[in-house]
Structure formats: structure tokens, C-alpha cells
Amino acid sequence: MTDPTSPALRAEALEQLLTERGLVRTDVIDGFVARYESDVGPLNGARVVARAWVDPEYKARLLADATPAVKEVAWGGGANGEHIVVVENTPVLHHVVVCTLCSCYPWPVLGLPPSWYKDPAYRARVVREPRAVLAEMGLELPPEVAIEVHDSSAEVRWLVLPERPAGTDDLTEEELAALVTRDAMVGVAKVAAP
């Protein structure tokens, strides 16, 4: 039986009401949904990461000046995406992003922030004990891997360039992008091999 309190069911009922009353056209709603599925969100960031993995010149531009480099591949401008800095994870250094004051986040590149990102517990603890927080989120890092925490703000939004997983040399840029998750671009996860 379907849960009548489910957000998906409530959204569907609201859409039906609005369209029946002529307040919204279904093609407009479909356009918004398509935009967030394909134009705004984690897919944008995933495209950026995949391009950096396959194109060393693009990667160099991305690490040197991320904002224009992101715009080469994906829409990244507007509010919350105007100044992006990219940091690269390596076998000996892992980056993780937080916004200790609120929830500053590059949503045009990463999509809407997850609830845990806005949670005061994450915001406070990841700064003090990042290794423990990452482990609780399922990412166990060896003790020899250093962890740097980057605090997003209204002036700077951070994006993590995750390590490319081993065994993906034969994958296309599009196939690589499909592997990249929002959590990997925030630094609370690694990209898994297919």
C-alpha cells in the first residue's frame, strides 16, 4: 500500500491540482524536472570531474582557476556558483567540504545540498574530528592519509576532485561521469569502480 504522507505522492497530488485548475502547465513542470535532472545538479559536477580525469590540460585549468573551467563544461554560475575552488584528492591527501556557518554549497554544480550537509552535528564535528565523521559515513581512510577540511562561505564554494578509480582507463568521459557522486565531490565518499 502506498504511504499517503510520502513526499512523492504529495508532490504528484499538488501537480494534479495545479494543472487541473489551470495554474500550471504540465510541460512547464516537466521542464523544471528535466532541468534539475540534467542541467543543474550533481551531473554538472560529475561532467567536470570526468573531463578533468581524461584531459590533463583541462584539469590544470580547473585546479588553477576553477570558476571559468567549470563553465567550460557545465553551468556553474549564478548564486552559489560564482566562485568555485577545486581541490584534488590524492592517495596521501583527502579533502572534505563543510560550511560551518550555514550551508554554503555550489548547488549549480552539485545539486541541492543533502540534509546531512546542513545538519549542525556534521558542520561542527567534521572540523574537529573529520576521520571519525568520514568513518561514520562509510569512508574509512588509512591513518597515513592526511585530511584537509575546507569551509565554504558566501565568497568561496569548494569542490573536491576525487581520485579516479583504478580500472577505468578504458571508460569514456560519459561513462566516467556516471560513476561520480555528489558525496565524492563533497569528500565524504570515494568514487567506486564499475
In the chain, the DSSP E strands lie at: 84-88, 93-98, 146-151, 157-161
* Residue found under cell 584528492: 89
The helix (H) or strand (E) run that includes residue 126 is helix 120-128
Helix, strand, coil percentages (3-state) for the chain, rounded to 5, are 50, 10, 40
Angstrom distance (rounded) from CA 100 to CA 144: 26
What are the binding residues for Fe(3+)? 99, 102-104
Query: DSSP letters of 51-65?
Result: HHHH-HHHHHHHHH-
Geometric angle at alpha carbon 47, from 176 and 59, rounded to 5° = 90
Q: Which residues are tagged catalytic?
A: 99, 102-104
